[in-house]
A and B are shown apart, each in its own frame.
Chain A
Amino acid sequence: MSPNEPTIFFEEVNERQGAFHRRAFLLGGLMGAGLLTLTGRLMQLQLVEAGRYQMLSAGNQFNFRLVPPPRGRIVDRYGVELAGNRPIFNLLLARDEVSDPTATLELISQLVPLDDRRKRQLIRDLANSPRFVPVSVADDISWEEFASINVRAPELPGVTADVGETRVYPFGGAFAHVIGYVSKVSEDDLKKAGPNPDPIMLHPGFRIGKAGVEKSLDLNLRGRAGAQKVEVDSRGRQIRKDPKGDISAIPGKEVMLTLDADIQNRALEVFGDNSGAAVMMDCRSGDILCLLSAPSFDANEFVKGVTRADYQALASYDHKPLLNKALGATYPPGSTFKTMVALAALEHGVDPNRTYVCNKTWFWGGRLWHCDKAHGVQNMHGAISTSCDIFFYQTALGLGPDRIAAVARKFGLGDTFDIGVSGQRPGLIPDTAYKRRAFPKDPVWHPGETPSMGIGQGYVNLNPLQLCVQAARLANGQKAIMPRLVKSIGGVEQPSGAAAPDLPFAREHIDFVRAAMAAVTESGTAAATAQLGLGPVKMAGKTGTAQARGYAGGTGAHGARGAWLLRDHAWFIAFAPYDDPRYAASVLVEHGGFGADAAAPIAREMMRMALLKDPEVRKRIVQPEQEAPRIDPNEPAEGRAPELPSDTPAPADSGPGDPA
């Protein structure tokens, strides 16, 4: 404003006011610009990028909860369930909805058993747990308890019952070693799963196969996890379910094994308190019908999580219930190995009628070699049937280790088989090459080592599955059949063990050994204990009494005398029917004493079960002129021929004390 201009209204308006007006306008303008900026930003966020943020918002709001898939069942060859699932009810307590935990727990304890210690523990857990993570009050409550909780639900705010599934093994221990068990996922399991494990592995309800078939076929049995769409809040607490958005779980594949639950259960039954293994195969197809290790343990306990005390008890028991003796332990095969020595001799032109004289002892190489008794003059047939050691010491000596080993290996001895279960120990069939490899300081095979090998001792160590394969190949007579455990996965048939090359031996030589094995049960070592009592259907076999400890110095005990741990291992390999073999078996009774007494009766009972279940064999047993009576395979003795033992003595009772 020019001072010269006459002013009326602005006379009093001083410079300060003018400045104020200009500056107020400026400030107002700046604020307006600020507000415009905010508006612009709002438009950018809410109009331009709205879609992106709406997606992010939905991602916040909705969560997919993994749902563990139902694990595939494991069934036997006839569809009998060996491993299945059952519903499980868990009681959960949500901390933020419970005002008085003590009173609520008191009320719950009227419906579900809860002792005071557990209650105190739960109150501590509730106090320490994150607010929105429910605490598990009781795992696996019964359906009745679940129902009673649901009825009283209005009085129990914050108490929810969660329905899940748990693995169940209906036969408890009978299949524990072969099927294994599932358990909670461990750190190791996660590490093995690699850097990006299946997210279901982190689900608290998920169980992973820890042993046996459950472990080796875990991925097949597992299935694919489903997802449940739930609305959650920022703390992950579930607000609402949205069933329309659920993705259903894909159940795991059903695995059918070649096992026969009846045979395996029978085997466990007749094993009694003994320790050992029993394997049975269909000698035409190679299917494993029984793969038992005894004593066993209840796999169901391992699903829940076995207690330390229970585990300690299992681990420290000298009968080793946790060890799969059918695959994972090796033993000297004893006299069962003589079948191999005999075959090797025949293959190398030894005259089967050549005889040796057995006087109970034989002096050779500067020491005495023993036999069980003086068998007198023995040819090969007789020596197998009576299991004369003196004959086989000398026969083996004539052959040397390499020839015997070559034959034994053709029968699967010292071999492992791809049956879908890990943990097989190959054992050993020794030869000169082995001696060179394993004993650099003493690489030469000494002739003095051969006689022991001739009777299945010395370096020879084998597992029961191998002996069963040996028996099955002898029984088959033609093919080197392979054992098969997994019949089908998800309905897809697995390759059969029958598609195998022929055994490179003369048929008449194998027949010779088979005839000698028939004599074992007819008149030989097992004549008293290996009678099937099934009329024309007879079993052939070979006993074995394998030295577990050296006898010298009184540390080992021959037969069934002495301390359990020092006794001999009892073996029996068998096949039946003798004239048309269908089934082959091997039985090991650890420290059982004589094979004929301890192992043969078990093989006999298994064989009876298998034969009586076989309709074609039953036709032969039943007299043609009689009307076919009902024969219940579970009650083999009912109303049949007098030699059918109606009360089969448990091997534990008959074994010890009875001299061979």
Chain B
Amino acid sequence: MISSALTRPGERDRWVVKFGDIDWMLCALLCLVAAAGGLMLYSIAGSSWKPWAGDHLFRFGLFFGLMIVLSLVDIRVWFAMAYPIYGFGLLMLLGVEAAGDISLGAKRWLSVGVLKFQPSEIMKIGIVLGLARFYHALSAEDARFSWKLMIPAAMIGLPALLVAHQPDLGTAILLAATGLSVMVIAGLSLRLIALGVAGVGAMAPVVFMFLLHPYQRERLTIFLHPDSDPSGAGYHTLQAKIALGSGGLLGKGYGLGSQSQLNFLPEKQTDFIFATLAEEFGFIGCFSVLLIYSAIVVIALRIASISHSHFGRMSAAGITSTFAFYVLINGAMVMGLAPVVGVPMPLLSYGGTVMLSVMVGFGLVQSVRVHRYAEVTSGKGTLW
């Protein structure tokens, strides 16, 4: 080890040092995406801060502060809170199942006093923390293939099924994909992965026929045959493709996207905001935003890989894959490569709860970076 001031005991616990260890490049890129989101929301509202752009930027400012605070939270606190948070999230999901508010035909929200929140968003952090905590104590051999893998499988399957039952297929897919990525990254046997892929392929028709809601099945059918119903349910996909395609290389110009400005584009401020961006800024704009997203993913993965603790590695990688899946699923959906499921473009789309969970996640990633040398043990007395 190189001898330096930072190797001195206690040096890394100083707040100034911690603050300096935050990845400011990552912060800048997140701000850039959020600013792009604000720009688009301003345009969609007909050049007005209301109702979306002002809110969006204000919230981002708030959650950015929260991220900074969370990045200073010791990784051992995260470690200790991992199972409690996961457990709390699971309880909340069960609570929604029992007594959730119904909104748009789905039970997603839970009211506690005046607070309304979606437990599935807690679960997005909780599942990463819980799995990271589990794998932290698991040997490489066991992570590859053993009976103990039943536990993470259950940890993923249970919340995913609960969320799918709400029904919120998008979030369920996101949770499952995140969990499985964590399992893969922890060293799951490649043979088992291949077997799993084959199994999923075989199960897909069964799921399609028996487990999906009729509206979900309809969306899938329309995805497979997009021209079967251009004015009905296929309308969303078609209009999004028209918005994207008509943007061309350079776009129609800021504030001039007819598809979004004239309301042809559905959910233009949330799930389909990328299509608005594509319409007004064209391929150049889309490519730039995708590039920023890629940079965020690369930086976050690098943070994961420089962590000395397995918990830190796993949690940072888990959050990164959640983020990447957001981008990939939403992008594929908007571009007509995937069926329409309610997954927003992170930080670009309008919506407070998703932004909160994303920023909390990056707080965790930053914390992993700040505390990358910290020794995390599962033994007693390490914390409090």
Contact = CB atoms under 8 A, between A and B. Distances in A.
A43 B332 CA distance: 13
A647 to B, nearest CB: 71
Contacts of A45: 241, 244-245, 335
A52 to B, nearest CB: 7
A231 B297 CA distance: 42
A56 B242 contact: yes
A39 interface: yes
Contacts of B335: 38, 41-42, 45
Nearest to A21: B305
A307 interface: no
Interface stretch (B21-29, B91-99, B109-117, B257-265): B257-265
A24 B258 contact: no
A316 interface: no
B328 A34 contact: yes
A41 B335 CA distance: 7
A53 interface: yes
A17 B310 contact: yes
Give chain B's interface secondary structure class. Answer: helix
Contact of B258 (A16, A46, A60): A60
B309 to A, nearest CB: 10
Contacts of A57: 242-243, 245-246, 258-259, 279
Interface in A215-250: 231-235, 239
Given A24-B304, A27-B321, A233-B262, 20 more contacts: A16-B310, A17-B313, A19-B186, A37-B337, A38-B290, A38-B335, A41-B332, A41-B335, A42-B283, A42-B286, A45-B244, A46-B248, A46-B283, A46-B286, A50-B246, A50-B249, A57-B279, A60-B262, A61-B259, A233-B263
B248 A54 contact: yes
Contact of A46 (B184, B247, B317, B327): B247
A47 B321 contact: no
B244 A38 contact: no
Interface of A: 14-17, 19-21, 23-24, 26-28, 31-32, 34-35, 37-39, 41-43, 45-47, 49-50, 52-54, 56-58, 60-61, 231-235, 239
A39 B246 CA distance: 16
B244 A42 contact: yes
B139 interface: yes
Residue from the set B279, B327, B331, B336 with the largest chain A CB neighbour count within 10 Å: B331
Contacts of A43: 283
Interface of B: 139-140, 143-144, 181, 184-187, 239, 241-249, 258-259, 262-264, 278-279, 282-283, 286-287, 290, 293-294, 297-298, 301, 304-305, 310, 313-314, 317, 321, 324, 327-328, 331-332, 335-337
B305 A14 contact: no
Nearest to B258: A61
A53 B244 CA distance: 8
A268 B290 CA distance: 83
Contacts of B294: 32, 35
Contact of B184 (A27, A41, A53, A56): A27
A232 B185 contact: no
Contacts of B184: 23, 26-27
B381 to A, nearest CB: 22
Contacts of B332: 37-38, 41
A15 B245 CA distance: 48
A32 B324 CA distance: 9
A232 B264 CA distance: 10
Contacts, number: 144
Contacts of A23: 184-187
Residue from the set B181, B187, B337 with the largest chain A CB neighbour count within 10 Å: B187
A50 B305 CA distance: 41
B283 A27 contact: no
Nearest to B284: A46
Nearest to B139: A16
B293 to A, nearest CB: 7
A24 B283 contact: no
B186 A20 contact: yes
Contacts of A50: 245-249
B248 A47 contact: yes
A50 B264 CA distance: 18
A239 B328 contact: no
B143 A16 contact: yes
A42 B331 CA distance: 9
B140 A34 contact: no
A52 B287 CA distance: 21
A49 B262 contact: no
A20 B262 contact: no
B169 to A, nearest CB: 19
B293 A54 contact: no
30 contacts: A16-B143, A16-B187, A19-B140, A19-B186, A23-B187, A24-B301, A26-B184, A27-B185, A31-B297, A35-B327, A35-B331, A38-B290, A38-B331, A41-B332, A42-B244, A42-B283, A43-B283, A45-B244, A46-B278, A46-B282, A46-B286, A50-B247, A53-B241, A53-B244, A53-B246, A57-B259, A57-B279, A58-B246, A232-B262, A239-B262
A14 B286 CA distance: 41
Nearest to B252: A57
Contacts of A28: 297-298, 301
The 6 closest A-B pairs by CB, nearest first: A53-B245, A57-B246, A19-B187, A233-B262, A234-B263, A50-B248
